Amino acid sequence: MKAQTPPGSLSLFSSLRAIRQRSFYSEEVKKYGPVFKTAQFHHRVICIANLPLAHRLLREQAASIAPCPQNFTKDVTGGFLRFMSPMNYKIYGPMFRRAFARPVVEASSSFARKKIHEDLAGLALPQDPLNKLKDLTHQIFVRILFGLEPGSPMLDKFRSSFAAMADKSMSQRLGTAGLAALADLRAMLRNPPEAISSISDLAQQLDGTLNDTVIDNLLFTLRISTNDAAGLLVWILEFLGRNPYWLDQVRKQEDPTLPSRIIKETLRLSRSEFLYRRVAQEFEFENFRFPEGWLIRICIAECHLDPTHFAAPYTFNPDRFLGPPPSDHIYSPFGIRDHACSGVEFATMIANLVIDELRNYDIILSGPALAQRGFRHWNHWCPSSKVALRPRT
């Protein structure tokens, strides 16, 4: 007898609930178990809400599972790192890991600290902080990735061309104007600034010859990382604003690991929501049939709320990360197995500096503690609160 697809509903109603109801996947787990199906409009999706199962699935069925890239990747020469072919990733993966490593990132820490100090002072009035934090993280990432900061001769030209390239969403191709801007940026960055940065490190690794695969990946990393890091910072403001005890503990400066634990707990409760893959050819797993063409959604957020591993899982408690780090079969905020997020050092450096600067402020939140997101299944949830920072006297 042929195996059946997992239990679950493929109805339009379920698809709409998955967009608007943050608890949708947790409720489906309770109803059907850790492997179930749902629909995302015209896509059929099998969800895995168990990290050990997800690890085993990706290991055992590696030949039958493919990446699930967005449309922007078609414009990236050689493929974007997260979705790159194994042959290309074998070449470029180690190069970018070195270029994104702590020694390179920390070369921009003085600029980042100054920029954070200036920009957080601008949150004096209640506002949605996301756009301001996107601008903040964008400028810091431009410094980390390309060595460009105010006073750099090519900065204005870079900003203009990048704005034209980034005019479309990540689900769209660049189009004629975007491709022209990308070509301008490639030509501009062949000879990068000498400041220590990711691009200067890659130029050194390549004996001074930067190719389109390297430059394209840096530019699209800037697009993605800016949004990801800004989203993390918004949630840090939300959790510290709702739980001022932890900001008081930061001010005491008694435990140097506390900022790192605040970041880990923020990632556990938000931002680390899902991974997607595509079934390239049909296979069976856990006695279920995975049909060709269906999507696979690894439900990271729901795994991070498992009370088996995290006591009082909905409570913001950075002390749960005291002691040895949890296994990636329990906690995987930056992805699992191959092609995991390579921008970990970027995000953690900026978040640490922001938490340190927040010692000088009280965080004032207005509005209910609700989350919201756009009308797409791949949009991330973000707080609905208005935020103001009041300097401490």
In this predicted model, what pLDDT tens digit does every residue of 138-164 receive, in sequence order?
Answer: 999 999 999 999 989 899 999 999 999
What's the pLDDT band for 342 if we cut at 50, 70, 90? low
Per cent of the chain over pLDDT 70 is 98
Q: Would you state the pLDDT for residue 339?
A: 55
Q: At 47, give phi and psi (nearest 5°).
A: -100, 140
Three-state secondary-structure class, residue 362: strand
Paired strand residues for 366: 386
Cα–Cα dist 356/256, whole Å? 11
Note whether 216 and 186 are within 8 A (CB). yes
Paired strand residues for 273: none
Span of 65-74, 284-293, 321-330 with lowest mean pLDDT: 65-74
Cα–Cα dist 167/99, whole Å? 27
Cα–Cα dist 147/32, whole Å? 50
230-258 mean pLDDT: 95
Task: Locate 98 and state its tokens.
Answer: 């070195």
- Sequence-separated contacts (24+) of 135-140 with Cβ below 8 Å: 136/230, 136/233, 137/225, 137/226, 137/229, 137/230, 137/233, 137/350, 138/222, 138/226, 139/115, 140/108, 140/111, 140/112, 140/115, 140/116, 140/350
Residue 357 C-beta-side C-alpha neighbours within 13 Å:
23
Cα–Cα dist 54/210, whole Å? 37
Q: What is the pLDDT of residues 85-128, one digit of tens each?
A: 888 989 999 999 999 999 999 999 999 999 999 999 999 999 99
Superfamily of domain 12-391: Cytochrome P450 (1.10.630.10)
Residue 246 C-beta-side C-alpha neighbours within 13 Å:
25
Three-state secondary-structure class, residue 366: strand
pTM confidence score: 0.93
Q: Which helix (H) or strand (E) holds 246?
A: helix 244-252
